[in-house]
Amino acid sequence: MITDFEVLETMKMFTEQHLDIRTITMGISLMDCADEDVNKACDKIYNKICRYAKNLVQVGEDISRKYNVPIINKRISVTPISIVAAASKTDDYTPFAVALDKAAKTCGVNFVGGFSALVQKGYTKADKILINSIPQALATTDFVCSSVNLASTRTGINMDAVKDMGEIIKKAADLTADRDAIGCAKLVVFANAPEDNPFMAGAFLGPGEPECVINVGISGPGVVKHALETVKGKDLGVVAETIKKAAFKITRVGELVAREASERLGVPFGIIDLSLAPTPEVGDSVARLLEEFGLEECGGWGTTACLAMLNDAVKKGGTMASSFVGGLSGAFIPVSEDEGMIAAAKSGGLKLEKLEAMTCVCSVGLDMIAIPGDTSAAVISGIIADEMALGTFNNKTTAVRIIPVPGKTVGDEVVFGGLLGSAPIMAVNNSSCANFINRGGRIPAPIHSMRN
């Protein structure tokens, strides 16, 4: 039985501690939209998305009013377009991105993800076309997000794709230079990409997913920080237990919303992604939450240990609250989207190398990091390669969403607005790794991939 105290406690989470449902994401399979004629394929895609998602925004708003729960985003994820577009006779997949963007606008959603390719072991012809289309696709659309899976623990790292993506990121930055390289903020590369992730920019509907599904992402770093404020000075065992209890409560709210949305839309419930996703708003920061452990500033010694403990406790608490936890689940550390991370980066206390160490134990990786526009494609590929290695050899998801901003350098700042926030330009070690990147080929899978 739910007590009055628990009801009031949950209401305070929303009104004072920035708890929200970050996204209701509808996954839609586009497998049956393939067609030799690119125009027919795009029409099928637009019509199918609009048919399934026409009520998504309204249902989200109705649930928000019913339970007085903030639901920030309503999003769509689709089958990787490189798979759907493979049947079409064209060497440019930008029209598919335009169709996705048109559908997103018609349905009123915030983003649509799935302009994607899975190339962890090698390229198909369609994968090549999609990747080469990414810069133009992101420059000519507003709501389309793109992702490419470059590596996995089972297959190793596709270094040819790593090299290519360094160049693609540079092109995406150049084509949106007038908007501080916003195209790169909608592009992410992965190792071990989950097929049910509801968060952008990496959301897509994997080939093993249902025809249509509802996945919900929740967020509550402010709730966990508030909980930790009640156990100041206690030992770390108490801290871990406190985080687990807070994560349990947060996840139960997400489960309620997910099942209600599933029922109203007549679509199966997929997973709850219980990630702590920060925003630029004060009081909603993972960095400030880590400082509550006892750090003077996020980025100092001890930060990685605190983040590891936080991630583990969040997962433990969340998996007790729902049998269907998936996606990324844990804690995100995007620089531009986290008020505390922004402050630590500006002060010099948080550097790119420390962020890389933190990605060993966080939910994603190097996320929403702005760097000088003159950083070479080879150096960007080197950053990607290191992050792919962390994911592949540690059997976890890692990612890179990095933004080389043309015309800007260390000391400058970029402002994207909304949830994307703002970020200082961070310094990059420009020592050349071009000879390594240019070798190409595939870094073999680690020995622990042999689990059969």
User: Taking the mean position of all CA atoms in its chain, how far away is CA 451?
Assistant: 28
- Identify the pLDDT of residue 7: 47
Residue 8 belongs to some domain of the structure: no
pTM: 0.93
Q: Rounded to an integer, what distance in angstroms lies between the CA atom of residue 397 and that of residue 390?
A: 9
Is residue 235 assigned to a domain? yes
Residue 11 lies in a domain: no
pLDDT tens, residue order, the chain (452 aa):
444 455 455 656 655 556 778 889 999 999 999 999 999 999 999 999 999 999 999 999 999 888 888 888 999 999 999 999 999 999 999 999 999 999 999 999 999 999 999 999 999 999 999 999 999 999 999 999 999 999 999 999 999 999 999 999 999 999 999 999 999 999 999 999 999 999 999 999 999 999 999 999 888 788 888 889 899 999 999 999 999 988 888 888 888 889 999 999 999 999 998 888 887 887 788 999 999 999 999 999 999 999 999 999 999 988 888 888 888 888 888 898 889 999 999 999 999 999 999 999 988 889 999 999 999 999 999 999 999 999 999 999 999 999 999 999 998 999 988 878 888 999 999 999 999 999 999 999 998 888 77
Q: Does any domain span residue 113?
A: yes
CA distances from residue 298 to 10, 202, 278 in whole angstroms, order as listed: 28, 25, 14
Q: What is the pLDDT of residue 10?
A: 62
The answer to whether residue 7 is domain-embedded is no
CATH of the domain at 436: 3.20.70.20
**Assigned domain for 12 exists:** no
Give the total number of structural domains in the chain: 1
Contacts of 116 (CB under 8 A, 6+ apart): 80, 81, 82, 130, 146, 147, 148, 149, 204
SS3 for the chain is: CCCHHHHHHHHHHHHHCCCEEEEEEEEECCHHHCCCCHHHHHHHHHHHHHHHHCCHHHHHHHHHHHHCCCEEEEEEEECCHHHHHHHCCCCCCHHHHHHHHHHHHHHCCCEEEEEEEECCCCCCHHHHHHHHHHHHHHHCCCCEEEEEEEEECCCEEEHHHHHHHHHHHHHHHHHCHHHCCHHHHCEEEEECCCCCCCCCCCCCCCCCCCCEEEEEEEECHHHHHHHHHCCCCCCHHHHHHHHHHHHHHHHHHHHHHHHHHHHHHCCCEEEEECCECCCCCCCCCHHHHHHCCCCCCCCCCCHHHHHHHHHHHHHHHHHHHCCCECCCCCECCCCCCCHHHHHHHHHCCCCHHHHHHHCCCCCCCEEEEEEECCCCHHHHHHHHHHHHHHHHHHCCCEEEEEEEECCCCCCCEEECCHHHCEEECCCCCCCCCHHHHCCCCEECCCHHHCCC
Domain region containing 392? 17-452
Contact 216, 272 (CB under 8 A): yes
CA distance 26 to 267: 9
Q: Give dist(CA 270, CA 327) in Å, integer.
A: 10
Assess if residue 54 is contained within a domain.
yes
Would you say 437 and 378 are in contact if contact means Cβ atoms under 8 Å apart? yes
* Cross-strand bridge partners of residue 423: 414
140 belongs to a structural domain? yes
Q: Both tokens of residue 256?
A: 């309620």
pLDDT at 384 (0 to 100): 97
